[in-house]
């Protein structure tokens, strides 16, 4: 059993802290937010993540997981301390390291024995050196320590499974001994462990997220071309994916990516490149395409409804993806904001994200279920691919609407079936609009 301190109780900190406790370690999780710590002590989860509440409860009951606002309590007898704090986007897209700095300074002032400090937060390349300098310069007296970069690769909605069954663990450090000590924590997960230098480990995280975001923006741009040429992007993606060099993952066209990672990480990587005199054309294009994909929904509604002022548009889904209550950078929130600015009445339903949404967009009318949400609606937008929405009684949904306009932003339904049910259906790149294709081909021949 190892004694581990985790700084931060967000998605990364809470999942990792609980996961290490579940592996048999003694974990103390520290957060300066007194309300959040009190909630956790009382069994209330500040986030929705499948399987996490049960795991927290089990490890608290077993005495392996503790929550506190005290760094002193967290660092007492600890061998490892994980920094799992937020790194939000700054004004120019750069990662804001104020919370990392604060955590490093407090660790330096509090530590009384040798520690291995692990950066788990997504941080700019060079942050390992930054943390090393902060700790050295802040310590009241010199105490040996090492810094290891161990980027997280958890997906919201499946974070518990991702912790227990990772694709790999990446460790970067100037101290091979420290990296090997951290590797021991992960051995029981039986996944590949890669050891490298600090900056390479930090770059692996950014490059991974940027590549996945690029795949999403690529297929979304293809979807718009498909709409114009009458092709079906879902079949295009399937045909592409059979090529082993390409694969099927992250080729689902939709309303764009969101969440706490992809948007800010792509911007942060682009900012790092720009500050070093480079022009990150691809990264900038990935962000531009993602932003346009949300506006494209509004353009479709303009085409279908004519005037949005006074029209009722229902959103099914508010979280940026299924199985989470996280609305950060959610496409649904962006779409709702555009609709409200245009004078539309916005009604919505989401299984778990309505409370979070009400705090930032109180003008949205929240509903108890999908059928209530679409009552007397002029159009409905499927914004989050919850499994619940795949099981809806679509005839009942149609009958509740003022106009049967269905904009399927996640391609959950078969276009032909929806049209047969009487919907004016629009998917994403589903080839329902082939007008102009014949003329274009004729022009090429001529």
Q: Which residues are identified as catalytic?
A: 261
Sheet arrangement for strand 312-316: 365-366, 345-349, 312-316, 379-382, 405-408, 424-426
- Is the CB of residue 164 less than 8 Å from the CB of residue 191? no
Pairing of strands 169-173, 145-149: antiparallel
* Residues 6+ away with beta carbon under 8 Å from 380: 313, 314, 315, 316, 373, 374, 397, 401, 405, 406, 407
CA distance 245 to 235: 17
Take residue 426 and report the two structure tokens written for it.
Answer: 């629009």
CA distance 134 to 121: 16
- Is the CB of residue 221 less than 8 Å from the CB of residue 254? no
CA distance 72 to 345: 51
Residue 381 φ/ψ, nearest 5 degrees: -115, 125
Strands, DSSP E only, in 150-228? 169-173, 193-196
């Amino acid at each position: 059993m190892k004694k581990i301190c985790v700084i931060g109780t967000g998605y990364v900190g809470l999942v990792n802290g609980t996961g290490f406790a579940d592996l048999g370690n003694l974990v103390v999780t520290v957060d300066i937010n007194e309300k959040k710590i009190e909630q956790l002590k009382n069994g209330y989860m500040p986030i929705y993540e499948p399987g996490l509440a049960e795991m927290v409860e089990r490890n608290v009951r077993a005495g392996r997981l503790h929550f506190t606002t005290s760094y002193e309590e967290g660092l007492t007898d600890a061998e490892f301390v994980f920094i799992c704090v937020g790194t939000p986007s700054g004004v120019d897209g750069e990662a804001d390291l104020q919370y990392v700095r604060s955590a490093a300074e407090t660790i330096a002032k509090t530590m009384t024995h040798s520690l291995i400090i692990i950066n788990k937060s997504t941080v700019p390349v060079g942050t390992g050196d930054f943390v090393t300098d902060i700790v050295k310069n802040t310590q009241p007296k010199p105490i040996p320590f090492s810094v290891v970069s161990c980027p997280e690769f958890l997906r919201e909605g499946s974070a518990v499974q991702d912790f227990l069954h990772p694709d790999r663990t990446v460790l970067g450090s100037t101290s091979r001994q420290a990296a090997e000590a951290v590797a021991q924590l992960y051995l029981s997960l039986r996944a590949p462990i890669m050891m490298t230098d600090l900056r390479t480990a930090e770059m692996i995280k950014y490059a991974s997220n940027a590549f996945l975001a690029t795949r999403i923006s690529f297929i979304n741009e293809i979807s718009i071309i498909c709409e114009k040429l009458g092709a079906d992007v879902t079949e295009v993606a399937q045909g592409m994916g059979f090529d082993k060099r390409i694969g099927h993952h992250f080729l689902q066209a939709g309303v764009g990516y969101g969440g706490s990672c992809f948007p800010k990480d792509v911007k942060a990587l682009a900012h790092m490149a720009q500050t070093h005199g480079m022009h990150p054309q691809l990264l900038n294009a990935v962000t531009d395409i993602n932003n346009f994909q949300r506006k494209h929904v509004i353009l479709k509604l303009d085409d279908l409804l004519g005037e949005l002022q006074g029209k009722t548009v229902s959103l099914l889904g508010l979280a940026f993806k299924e199985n989470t209550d996280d609305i950060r950078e959610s496409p649904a929130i962006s779409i709702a904001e555009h609709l409200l600015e245009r004078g539309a009445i916005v009604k919505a339903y989401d299984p778990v994200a309505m409370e979070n949404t009400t705090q930032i967009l109180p003008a949205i009318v929240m509903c108890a279920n999908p059928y209530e949400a679409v009552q007397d609606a002029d159009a409905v937008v499927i914004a989050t691919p919850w499994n619940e929405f795949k099981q809806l009684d679509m005839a009942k949904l149609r009958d509740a609407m003022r106009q049967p306009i269905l904009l399927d932003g996640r391609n959950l339904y078969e276009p032909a079936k929806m049209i047969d049910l009487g919907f004016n259906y629009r998917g994403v790149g589903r080839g329902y609009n082939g007008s102009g294709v014949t003329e274009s081909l004729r022009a090429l021949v001529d």
